[in-house]
Structure 1
């Protein structure tokens, strides 16, 4: 017999949720075969069976939250799919009896239908003696939530318990006016971590603006030659990444992080680049950006963006960044105050390029301008460093030849 457990995926990941079972009880399983997809806050992971046999038990349903090390399925060694489940079912029955799901009258098998419900909804249904299949969910995807069970209220004994939940049920929704959409695990984690950053850091944002005239002119002159010689498209992100690395070297505390009562000054330059996906923002990392030339940076960013869109990012693509760049300008943002990423000390926000009147050599000229925003942890970065960092990025972008010469 082999127990299928939630594996350790990374130090920062302690739980996940069952996204999809690709096998069902009674199916023949080969060693190393993918049987269930686990959704975590960072990536979706495919869990395999380490033993060939028959899948005899599934101990967590789609949508359930599961912890690292938790047993979620059992595979019995055997040759045939038919006899194995039958043989395993008899001895397994005494073990399953104490389990809440086996003892409750609310399991999916009571009606012959498969019901997707949250653990809290199952618990409340067991307490109230309600068949989950009889509950009408508000969720358009059919997931039964605790509010749905509370509103069902068929057992008289459970009436006092239902009363406290009534306010939630009342606030629930008018289906003709509101569409309910369950937050994905990734979106929940994004929300949780952004809130943690806001609450646990002394975040401050400072601004500057950069005249993009010279970068745009250089890019226009060199993009065709660049593509012919490297096979890569020359974008703005390579210029910004190079400018950021140079500024980080000059202001090392912007490339640091706090660990307890220590400041860790990073001597590497792994630059996170925020990428928007259907499931939310992810920040894959361009490794050793200081050692890459313009073409290598462009290729790295393009490759990571494609992997993000195709949901192929691995944990190694997302972990260990020392600084982050986010470009709200691709969505039309003129100015914003980005929130720092994890334990990093700062994040740079790029914005839309807009032609505006500015003073140039004592005269008013119309120039393509971009606002830059640096959000930083004021506990370790002072105003002098934050302003100096932005000023360095600005000066390098306004004199892009310097970046080419130093890359």
Structure 2
């Protein structure tokens, strides 16, 4: 097919490149001229493993192009995929202004029948509003489809080319055959449903995964008080096929561009129809509080943080991405700075993006993990990058002024700690805390 993808963020860029990879002719469109020039010059504005190489392959093969010229791209293609951002407004609702502007321009540019697929995450009913808006700007027939994305940053290419499922929401039969043909090379797990259900599937999926994360973090907090090991608890739970092992890793909570935004938006969607989503509100509250366990554990050992030097390993919200949107590191570092601490931070990929979000006279960005740790009173691991996990703890101990390690992602094992004198805190594994190597005794009542 000849496809125009409007928006070159994570979703749009990865989707467009992957559709080219399976043999389609794709034009990726963005209003940001600097981003398009960057892509045309073979550079990638986001960090995603394998993406740069795949872009080069498909541009060279003549299947992929980049432009700021939306009208020309729309006129030259038969399928238009809308993948523009829908960030949160202050009240939690999705900001649809970018989507509306793009839809109006698409309507004015149409020169014949088109299929217009919305891949952006949007509230229920948005596709219908976009259809009405386009109709006001064109005389040509078209069909609307909702095709939500489910990719994960850091594994976006694999998720796009090997999806668990494809959801296609339509209200007419005409576009179904072409949309099935487009997606069948990716998977045969395709659900064709109505548009409103497709819109809700996206929100419901992300809300459920966020719920699993907050649930296991609550279990971890209880484990710390009763002497259980959350990693063992999660393993035991995961064997149950009704539960599964995914998203049961205790830590400092979720972040990124999807879960925080989509949970807040779904709470608003429910509120707009006079339904209070109590469970999801609790999920959000738990997640917000979980990151501050880092601060509480620091204060337990150091008491007053004023004048203390705290090393931070990891600024991205997850490994294998440079995305710092809603990263727990933002609030954690801001809290440390507000309490008078000096902060030395390092991330192998996300540092430049984080610096754009946060600068402070007491915040130093370091060039290596060891530089960040050197002469610090404590080290906090916030993102589970491989290089942190593979660091020699005996070497690390010699760098720190004080052997206090707060592991917010449960990256280190009892074996790694055995030959050190670290005061060590993880999440939900109290048997490893404060250098205690033996499991706590079982108390029978």
Q: TM-score over 0.5 for the alignment?
A: no
Q: Which bin holds the TM-score, normalised by the shorter protein? A: under 0.3
User: Over alpha carbons, which structure has the higher Rg?
Assistant: 1
Q: TM-score, normalised by structure 1?
A: 0.24
More strand by share: 1
More helix by share: 2
